[in-house]
Protein backbone atom coordinates (compact mmCIF):
# COMPACT_ATOMS: atom_id res chain seq x y z
CA UNK A 1 0.00 0.00 0.00
CA UNK A 2 1.40 3.38 -1.06
CA UNK A 3 2.51 5.50 1.92
CA UNK A 4 0.11 8.44 2.48
CA UNK A 5 1.65 11.90 1.83
CA UNK A 6 -0.34 14.78 3.36
CA UNK A 7 -1.49 17.24 0.62
CA UNK A 8 -0.33 20.13 2.84
CA UNK A 9 3.23 18.74 2.74
CA UNK A 10 3.05 18.47 -1.05
CA UNK A 11 1.95 22.11 -1.19
CA UNK A 12 4.78 23.12 1.18
CA UNK A 13 7.37 21.38 -1.04
CA UNK A 14 5.94 23.01 -4.17
CA UNK A 15 6.12 26.48 -2.59
CA UNK A 16 9.53 26.04 -0.87
CA UNK A 17 11.88 28.96 -1.43
CA UNK A 18 14.77 27.56 0.64
CA UNK A 19 14.65 23.79 1.05
CA UNK A 20 17.13 21.82 3.17
CA UNK A 21 17.18 18.01 3.06
CA UNK A 22 19.10 15.89 5.58
CA UNK A 23 19.66 12.27 4.56
CA UNK A 24 20.95 9.23 6.41
CA UNK A 25 21.78 5.62 5.64
CA UNK A 26 18.10 4.73 5.14
CA UNK A 27 18.13 6.56 1.79
CA UNK A 28 20.84 4.18 0.50
CA UNK A 29 19.33 0.99 1.90
CA UNK A 30 17.28 0.41 -1.29
CA UNK A 31 20.57 0.59 -3.19
CA UNK A 32 21.76 -2.44 -1.23
CA UNK A 33 23.91 -0.59 1.32
CA UNK A 34 23.33 -1.67 4.96
CA UNK A 35 22.33 1.04 7.44
CA UNK A 36 24.14 1.38 10.75
CA UNK A 37 21.45 0.69 13.31
CA UNK A 38 18.75 -1.32 11.64
CA UNK A 39 18.49 -4.14 14.15
CA UNK A 40 20.16 -7.39 13.02
CA UNK A 41 20.93 -6.24 9.49
CA UNK A 42 22.66 -2.92 10.23
CA UNK A 43 26.43 -2.71 10.10
CA UNK A 44 26.63 -2.08 13.81
CA UNK A 45 24.60 -5.22 14.49
CA UNK A 46 27.65 -7.18 13.36
CA UNK A 47 30.41 -4.88 14.51
CA UNK A 48 30.94 -2.82 17.61
CA UNK A 49 31.44 0.71 16.26
CA UNK A 50 33.99 1.39 19.01
CA UNK A 51 36.03 -1.43 17.49
CA UNK A 52 36.13 0.18 14.09
CA UNK A 53 34.92 3.75 13.64
CA UNK A 54 37.24 5.64 16.04
CA UNK A 55 40.75 7.16 15.83
CA UNK A 56 41.74 4.86 18.73
CA UNK A 57 40.70 1.78 16.73
CA UNK A 58 42.85 2.95 13.80
CA UNK A 59 45.75 3.65 16.16
CA UNK A 60 45.36 0.17 17.69
CA UNK A 61 44.99 -1.77 14.45
CA UNK A 62 45.33 0.38 11.29
CA UNK A 63 45.41 -2.64 9.00
CA UNK A 64 42.09 -4.06 10.27
CA UNK A 65 40.26 -0.69 10.23
CA UNK A 66 41.64 0.25 6.78
CA UNK A 67 40.66 -3.16 5.39
CA UNK A 68 37.08 -2.86 6.78
CA UNK A 69 36.57 0.56 5.23
CA UNK A 70 38.21 -0.40 1.94
CA UNK A 71 35.93 -3.44 1.63
CA UNK A 72 32.93 -1.09 2.12
CA UNK A 73 34.39 1.36 -0.44
CA UNK A 74 34.71 -1.39 -3.08
CA UNK A 75 31.22 -2.78 -2.32
CA UNK A 76 29.59 0.67 -2.40
CA UNK A 77 31.29 1.45 -5.73
CA UNK A 78 29.15 -1.34 -7.28
CA UNK A 79 25.90 0.15 -5.94
CA UNK A 80 23.65 2.44 -7.96
CA UNK A 81 21.37 5.31 -6.95
CA UNK A 82 17.79 4.21 -6.22
CA UNK A 83 14.56 6.10 -7.07
CA UNK A 84 14.86 8.04 -3.81
CA UNK A 85 18.26 9.46 -4.79
CA UNK A 86 16.98 10.27 -8.29
CA UNK A 87 13.90 12.01 -6.92
CA UNK A 88 16.07 14.23 -4.69
CA UNK A 89 18.18 15.22 -7.71
CA UNK A 90 14.96 16.08 -9.58
CA UNK A 91 13.69 18.04 -6.56
CA UNK A 92 16.90 20.09 -6.54
CA UNK A 93 16.45 20.97 -10.22
CA UNK A 94 12.79 21.92 -9.64
CA UNK A 95 13.47 24.16 -6.65
CA UNK A 96 16.46 25.86 -8.33
CA UNK A 97 14.43 26.15 -11.55
CA UNK A 98 11.80 28.23 -9.75
CA UNK A 99 14.45 30.51 -8.27
CA UNK A 100 14.62 28.82 -4.87
CA UNK A 101 17.59 27.62 -2.82
CA UNK A 102 18.28 23.89 -2.23
CA UNK A 103 20.86 22.18 0.00
CA UNK A 104 21.26 18.43 0.47
CA UNK A 105 23.05 17.64 3.73
CA UNK A 106 24.05 13.99 3.85
CA UNK A 107 25.50 11.80 6.59
CA UNK A 108 26.12 9.17 3.95
CA UNK A 109 29.60 8.48 2.65
CA UNK A 110 28.63 6.54 -0.48
CA UNK A 111 28.41 9.44 -3.01
CA UNK A 112 25.14 8.02 -4.42
CA UNK A 113 23.47 11.44 -4.24
CA UNK A 114 26.11 12.84 -6.58
CA UNK A 115 25.85 9.76 -8.82
CA UNK A 116 22.09 10.46 -9.06
CA UNK A 117 22.74 14.03 -10.26
CA UNK A 118 22.45 16.03 -7.03
CA UNK A 119 24.79 19.01 -7.15
CA UNK A 120 24.22 20.94 -3.92
CA UNK A 121 25.49 18.14 -1.65
CA UNK A 122 27.22 18.78 1.70
CA UNK A 123 28.99 15.65 3.00
CA UNK A 124 28.78 15.99 6.78
CA UNK A 125 30.63 12.71 7.45
CA UNK A 126 33.08 12.64 4.54
CA UNK A 127 33.26 10.02 1.79
CA UNK A 128 34.45 6.41 1.62
CA UNK A 129 36.44 6.99 -1.56
CA UNK A 130 38.51 9.80 -0.02
CA UNK A 131 41.65 8.54 1.77
CA UNK A 132 43.92 10.86 3.81
CA UNK A 133 47.50 10.37 4.98
CA UNK A 134 47.55 10.31 8.78
CA UNK A 135 51.07 11.82 8.68
CA UNK A 136 51.14 14.56 5.99
CA UNK A 137 47.41 14.98 5.48
CA UNK A 138 47.51 14.45 1.70
CA UNK A 139 44.02 13.49 0.44
CA UNK A 140 43.29 11.41 -2.66
CA UNK A 141 40.11 9.92 -4.12
CA UNK A 142 40.27 6.15 -4.73
CA UNK A 143 37.91 4.64 -7.29
CA UNK A 144 39.78 1.43 -8.18
CA UNK A 145 39.83 -2.07 -6.70
CA UNK A 146 40.99 -3.02 -3.19
CA UNK A 147 44.28 -1.62 -1.93
CA UNK A 148 47.28 -3.94 -2.30
CA UNK A 149 48.25 -3.49 1.35
CA UNK A 150 46.59 -2.41 4.63
CA UNK A 151 46.89 0.23 5.71
CA UNK A 152 47.66 1.79 2.30
CA UNK A 153 50.79 3.94 2.44
CA UNK A 154 51.31 7.55 1.38
CA UNK A 155 54.42 8.60 -0.58
CA UNK A 156 55.68 10.10 2.68
CA UNK A 157 55.45 6.67 4.29
CA UNK A 158 52.49 7.59 6.48
CA UNK A 159 49.47 5.29 6.87
CA UNK A 160 46.45 6.44 4.85
CA UNK A 161 43.03 6.40 6.60
CA UNK A 162 39.50 6.69 5.23
CA UNK A 163 38.32 10.31 4.79
CA UNK A 164 35.22 9.72 6.91
CA UNK A 165 34.30 11.24 10.29
CA UNK A 166 34.85 8.79 13.15
CA UNK A 167 33.16 8.80 16.53
CA UNK A 168 34.80 11.46 18.68
CA UNK A 169 36.03 13.45 15.66
CA UNK A 170 34.77 16.86 14.62
CA UNK A 171 32.92 17.30 11.34
CA UNK A 172 34.71 19.10 8.47
CA UNK A 173 34.56 22.84 9.26
CA UNK A 174 33.44 23.79 5.75
CA UNK A 175 30.60 21.26 5.83
CA UNK A 176 29.40 22.55 9.21
CA UNK A 177 29.52 26.15 8.01
CA UNK A 178 27.57 25.31 4.85
CA UNK A 179 25.01 23.29 6.81
CA UNK A 180 24.47 26.05 9.36
CA UNK A 181 24.15 28.70 6.66
CA UNK A 182 21.57 26.60 4.81
CA UNK A 183 19.54 25.89 7.97
CA UNK A 184 19.68 29.54 9.05
CA UNK A 185 17.24 30.69 6.42
CA UNK A 186 15.45 27.57 5.23
CA UNK A 187 11.66 27.52 5.13
CA UNK A 188 11.35 23.74 4.84
CA UNK A 189 13.58 21.00 6.35
CA UNK A 190 13.14 17.35 5.34
CA UNK A 191 14.79 14.64 7.49
CA UNK A 192 14.95 11.45 5.41
CA UNK A 193 16.26 8.00 6.26
CA UNK A 194 18.10 8.90 9.44
CA UNK A 195 17.67 7.66 13.02
CA UNK A 196 18.25 11.26 14.18
CA UNK A 197 20.61 9.98 16.91
CA UNK A 198 24.04 11.26 15.92
CA UNK A 199 24.89 14.91 16.62
CA UNK A 200 25.61 17.49 15.38
CA UNK A 201 23.71 16.30 12.27
CA UNK A 202 20.68 15.33 14.38
CA UNK A 203 20.58 18.83 15.88
CA UNK A 204 20.06 20.55 12.53
CA UNK A 205 16.34 19.80 12.49
CA UNK A 206 15.98 21.42 15.92
CA UNK A 207 17.85 24.47 14.63
CA UNK A 208 15.60 24.70 11.56
CA UNK A 209 12.49 24.48 13.76
CA UNK A 210 13.88 27.13 16.06
CA UNK A 211 14.20 29.46 13.08
CA UNK A 212 10.61 28.90 12.08
CA UNK A 213 11.06 26.37 9.28
CA UNK A 214 8.43 23.73 8.63
CA UNK A 215 9.82 20.22 9.13
CA UNK A 216 9.00 16.73 7.88
CA UNK A 217 10.40 13.24 8.40
CA UNK A 218 10.34 10.33 5.92
CA UNK A 219 11.19 7.04 7.60
CA UNK A 220 9.44 3.64 7.98
CA UNK A 221 10.27 3.75 11.73
CA UNK A 222 9.78 6.41 14.38
CA UNK A 223 12.83 8.36 15.60
CA UNK A 224 13.49 11.02 18.28
CA UNK A 225 12.53 13.57 15.61
CA UNK A 226 9.12 11.99 14.95
CA UNK A 227 7.33 13.94 17.68
CA UNK A 228 8.91 17.23 16.65
CA UNK A 229 8.15 17.42 12.95
CA UNK A 230 5.10 19.01 11.32
CA UNK A 231 4.64 16.03 9.00
CA UNK A 232 5.71 12.42 9.33
CA UNK A 233 5.52 10.13 6.30
CA UNK A 234 5.89 6.49 7.28
CA UNK A 235 7.50 4.78 4.32
CA UNK A 236 10.61 3.98 2.36
CA UNK A 237 12.36 6.92 0.73
CA UNK A 238 12.61 5.06 -2.58
CA UNK A 239 8.79 4.90 -2.69
CA UNK A 240 7.81 8.17 -0.98
CA UNK A 241 10.21 10.60 -2.67
CA UNK A 242 9.30 9.91 -6.33
CA UNK A 243 5.61 10.22 -5.39
CA UNK A 244 6.17 13.42 -3.37
CA UNK A 245 8.19 15.13 -6.13
CA UNK A 246 5.81 14.04 -8.92
CA UNK A 247 2.81 15.41 -7.00
CA UNK A 248 4.56 18.63 -6.01
CA UNK A 249 5.76 19.24 -9.60
CA UNK A 250 3.26 17.55 -11.94
CA UNK A 251 4.43 19.51 -15.02
CA UNK A 252 7.15 17.92 -17.16
CA UNK A 253 10.56 19.43 -16.32
CA UNK A 254 11.72 22.37 -18.50
CA UNK A 255 13.94 21.14 -21.35
CA UNK A 256 17.26 22.64 -22.33
CA UNK A 257 16.97 24.49 -25.67
CA UNK A 258 20.45 25.56 -26.49
CA UNK A 259 23.04 26.41 -23.84
CA UNK A 260 21.22 27.29 -20.63
CA UNK A 261 17.93 28.30 -22.27
CA UNK A 262 15.17 26.41 -20.51
CA UNK A 263 11.79 26.14 -22.21
CA UNK A 264 8.69 24.11 -21.60
CA UNK A 265 7.87 21.49 -24.24
CA UNK A 266 5.45 22.79 -26.90
CA UNK A 267 6.57 26.42 -26.71
CA UNK A 268 9.10 26.92 -29.52
CA UNK A 269 11.91 29.37 -28.84
CA UNK A 270 12.94 31.37 -31.93
CA UNK A 271 16.46 30.31 -33.08
P1 LIG B 1 21.03 4.63 11.01
O2 LIG B 1 21.33 3.22 10.64
O3 LIG B 1 21.29 5.10 12.42
O4 LIG B 1 19.49 4.92 10.72
C5 LIG B 1 18.94 4.56 9.47
C6 LIG B 1 17.50 5.05 9.46
O7 LIG B 1 16.97 4.78 8.19
C8 LIG B 1 16.63 4.33 10.48
O9 LIG B 1 15.87 5.29 11.20
C10 LIG B 1 15.73 3.46 9.62
O11 LIG B 1 14.42 3.32 10.17
C12 LIG B 1 15.67 4.25 8.34
N13 LIG B 1 15.40 3.47 7.14
C14 LIG B 1 15.67 2.17 6.89
N15 LIG B 1 15.28 1.86 5.63
C16 LIG B 1 14.79 3.01 5.08
C17 LIG B 1 14.25 3.35 3.81
N18 LIG B 1 14.13 2.43 2.83
N19 LIG B 1 13.83 4.62 3.59
C20 LIG B 1 13.93 5.55 4.58
N21 LIG B 1 14.44 5.29 5.81
C22 LIG B 1 14.86 4.04 6.05
O23 LIG B 1 21.80 5.57 9.97
P24 LIG B 1 22.05 7.12 10.11
O25 LIG B 1 20.89 7.82 10.75
O26 LIG B 1 22.47 7.60 8.79
O27 LIG B 1 28.12 8.34 11.45
O28 LIG B 1 23.31 7.17 11.11
C29 LIG B 1 23.86 8.44 11.36
C30 LIG B 1 25.33 8.25 11.58
O31 LIG B 1 25.58 7.23 12.58
C32 LIG B 1 26.08 7.75 10.36
O33 LIG B 1 26.38 8.77 9.46
C34 LIG B 1 27.36 7.21 11.00
C35 LIG B 1 26.75 6.47 12.17
O36 LIG B 1 27.60 6.42 13.25
C37 LIG B 1 29.46 8.16 11.61
O38 LIG B 1 29.98 7.09 11.37
C39 LIG B 1 30.17 9.37 12.11
pTM: 0.92
Q: What is the CATH number of the domain that holds 94?
A: 3.40.50.1220
Between CA 155 and CA 138 the distance in angstroms is 9
d(CA 180, CA 190): 15
Give the domain range for residue 156: 42-78+130-164
Query: Do 119 and 154 fall into the same domain?
Result: no
In whole angstroms, what separates CA 144 from the centre of its chain?
22
Q: How far is 13 from 233, CA to CA, in rounded Å?
A: 14
pLDDT at residue 225 in the model: 97
The DSSP output letter for 193 is S
Testing ligand 1's pocket by substitution, the residue of 194, 239, 242 carrying the most ligand atoms inside 8 A of its CB is: 194
200, 171 Cβ separation under 8 angstroms: yes
Computed over every residue of the chain, the mean pLDDT equals 92
249-267: average pLDDT = 62
- Asked whether residue 159 falls in the same domain as residue 224, the answer is no
pLDDT value at residue 267: 45
* Substitution site in 107, 108, 175, 218 for ligand 1 pocket (most atoms within 8 Å of beta carbon): 107
On whether both 114 and 236 belong to a single domain, the answer is yes
* Per-residue model confidence as pLDDT tens digits over 117-170: 999 999 999 999 999 999 999 999 999 999 999 999 999 999 999 999 999 999
- pLDDT above 60: residue 264: no
Spatial separation of the C-alpha atoms in residues 24 and 215, rounded to whole Å: 16
Q: Are residues 71 and 104 in the same domain?
A: no
Note whether 183 and 219 are same-domain residues: yes
The protein residue with its alpha carbon nearest to ligand 1, atom 13, reads: 26
Ligand 1 binding pocket (C-beta < 6 A) is 24-26, 29-30, 35-38, 42, 53, 107, 125, 165, 193-195, 197-198, 219-221, 223, 236-238
CATH number at residue 157: 3.30.1600.10
User: 243 and 154 share a domain?
Assistant: no
231 and 99, same domain (yes or no)? yes
* Residue 105 placed within a domain: yes
User: What is the rounded average pLDDT of the residues 218-237?
Assistant: 98
At residue 8, does pLDDT exceed 70?
A: yes
Domain assignment present for residue 259? The answer is no
Question: Which of the listed residues 164, 190, 224 is the one where a domain comes to its end?
Answer: 164
192 close to 27: Cβ distance less than 8 angstroms: yes
Span 218-242, mean pLDDT?
98
Closest-CA residue, ligand 1 atom 35, reads: 36
pLDDT at 210 over 60: yes
How many angstroms separate the CA atoms of 226 and 193, rounded?
12
Q: Among 39-48, 53-62, 218-227, which is the least confidently predicted range?
A: 39-48
Q: Sheet of 160-164: strands edge to edge?
A: 139-141, 126-133, 160-164
* 23 and 143, same domain (yes or no): no
- CA 22 to ligand 1 center in whole angstroms: 11
Residues 92 and 223 in one domain: yes
Mean pLDDT for 99-108 is: 98
* Domain count across the chain: 2
Q: Clarify whether residues 57 and 177 are in a common domain.
A: no
Which of the four pLDDT bands, split at 50, 70 and 90, describes residue 245?
very high
Closest among 123, 120, 207, 108 to 171, alpha carbons compared: 123
Q: Which residues of 184-217 are buried (b: 16+ CB within 10 A; e: fewer)?
A: eebbbbbbbbbbbebeebbebbbbbbeeebbbbb
Amino acid sequence: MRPEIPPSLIEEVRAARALVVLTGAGVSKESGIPTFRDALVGLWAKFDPEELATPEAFERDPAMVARWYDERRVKVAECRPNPGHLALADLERRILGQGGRFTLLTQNVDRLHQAAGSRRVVELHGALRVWRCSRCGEEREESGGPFAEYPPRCGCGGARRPGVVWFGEVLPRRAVDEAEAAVRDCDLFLSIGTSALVHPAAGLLHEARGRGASTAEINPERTPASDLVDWRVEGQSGEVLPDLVARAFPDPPPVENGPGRRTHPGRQVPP
